[in-house]
Amino acid sequence: QITLKEFGPTLVKPTQTLTLTCTFSGFSLSTSGVGVGWIRQPPGKALEWLALIYWDDDKRYSSSLKRRLTITRDNSKNQVVLTMTNMDPVDTATYYCAHSWFGKQGNWFDPWGHGTLVTVSS
Amino acid sequence: DIQMTQSPSSLSASVGDRVTITCRASQTISNSLNWYQQRPGKAPKLLIYVASSLQTGVPSRFSGSGSGTDFTLTISSLQPEDFATYYCQQSYTSPYTFGQGTKLEIK
């Protein structure tokens, strides 16, 4: 059974750097075809794709947030870490991590973690 | 970036109704299109991947179709637990963008 859980601060101040950790079980990020992604959702708004790290350590980022995001992995700890610099109140959102499977015709997120709400406020 | 546009943004329907939600991509994405369901306060759940493949455990009343730029999610007979928000997502090229969502409400 695949499970993921997000860990990180619930409150950050403007201009600070956010560090979120996704701890997972039930799969290995070294397995071909596997990835872990981050998605966020501001309160009452739509899902926004942020970043994805592949089994071969290839990394992809949101175009609009690319300069602020870094995704890394620690295979020994079964963790993926997302950092976002220069946080602003508009970054207030629930942040999800999710397992991604890459098939011949695309990739998809399944399952997702429960999400963690991060509020940006002074 | 590929833009994904869903219609309608919201929809009222009754239990037993047949409902169709549309997703349009700003450029061709072959069949690299996924659908997710999100109930209030919960994480999204995968329903359909590569346009028409039903995820294991998802009821057969859900179906997906389309290719190129136009896609549909159909619920053949609405059940009470289906009232939720639905999102499409393209996985053709990074960044793998989501649609803005369609909120399905009880009439």
Q: What is the pLDDT of residues B16-63, one digit of tens each?
A: 999 999 999 999 999 999 999 999 999 999 999 999 999 999 999 999
Give the contacts of B54 (CB within 8 A, at least 6 positions apart): B47, B48, B60, B62, B63, B64
Predicted pLDDT at B31: 96
Which chain A residues have any C-beta within 8 angstroms of a chain B C-beta?
Answer: 37, 39, 46-49, 52, 60-63, 96, 103, 105-115
Q: Does B95 touch chain A (CB under 8 A)?
A: yes
Q: Does B96 touch chain A (CB under 8 A)?
A: yes
- Residue A96 Cα, gap to closest chain B Cα (Å): 8
Taken in order B47, B53, B57, B59, is the CA torsion positive or negative? positive
φ/ψ (deg, to 5) at A116: -135, 130
Tokens describing residue A64: 């609009």
All residues of chain B having their beta carbon less than 8 Å from the beta carbon of residue A61 are: 94-95
Predicted pLDDT at B6: 98
Give the contacts of B51 (CB within 8 A, at least 6 positions apart): B31, B32, B33, B64, B65, B66, B67, B71
All residues of chain A having their beta carbon less than 8 Å from the beta carbon of residue B92 are: 106
pLDDT tens figures, A60-83:
999 999 999 999 999 899 999 999
All residues of chain B having their beta carbon less than 8 Å from the beta carbon of residue A24 are: none
All residues of chain A having their beta carbon less than 8 Å from the beta carbon of residue B50 are: 103, 105-106, 108
- Residue B85 Cα, gap to closest chain A Cα (Å): 9
As a whole number, mean pLDDT of residues B60-80 equals 97
Whether A49 sits inside 8 A of B95 (CB atoms) is yes
Predicted pLDDT at A103: 85
